[in-house]
Amino acid sequence: MSKDNLISLQIPAADLESGRSGLTAFEEKILPHLVDLLVEERKGLPKMADKTFPFVEKALEYAETNPTLVPSYIDVAEMRIDLQAVTTLTELFRRVEKIYDILDDSILLSGSEAFKAALKFYKAIQTAAKAGVPGAEVIYLDLKQRFEKAKAKSTETTTETGA
pLDDT tens-digit map of 9-29: 999 999 999 999 999 999 999
Task: Provide the residue count of the chain.
Answer: 163
Query: CA dist 65 to 62, 121, 127, Å?
Result: 5, 72, 80
pLDDT at residue 119 is higher than 80: yes
pLDDT at residue 107 is higher than 90: yes
> Could you tell me if 1 and 8 are in contact, meaning their C-beta atoms sit under 8 angstroms apart?
yes
Closest of 2, 38, 5 to residue 117, by C-alpha: 5
User: What pLDDT band is residue 139 in, cutting at 50, 70 and 90?
Assistant: very high
pLDDT at residue 150 is higher than 70: no
Q: Where are the domains of the chain?
A: 13-161
User: What pLDDT band is residue 84 in, cutting at 50, 70 and 90?
Assistant: very high
Contacts of 53 (CB under 8 A, 6+ apart): 86
d(CA 88, CA 92): 7
Burial environment of residue 101 by CB neighbours within 10 A (0 to 12, 13 to 18, 19 or more): exposed
pLDDT-above-90 percentage for the chain: 83
d(CA 127, CA 137): 10
pLDDT tens-digit map of 19-62: 999 999 999 999 999 999 999 999 999 999 889 999 999 999 99
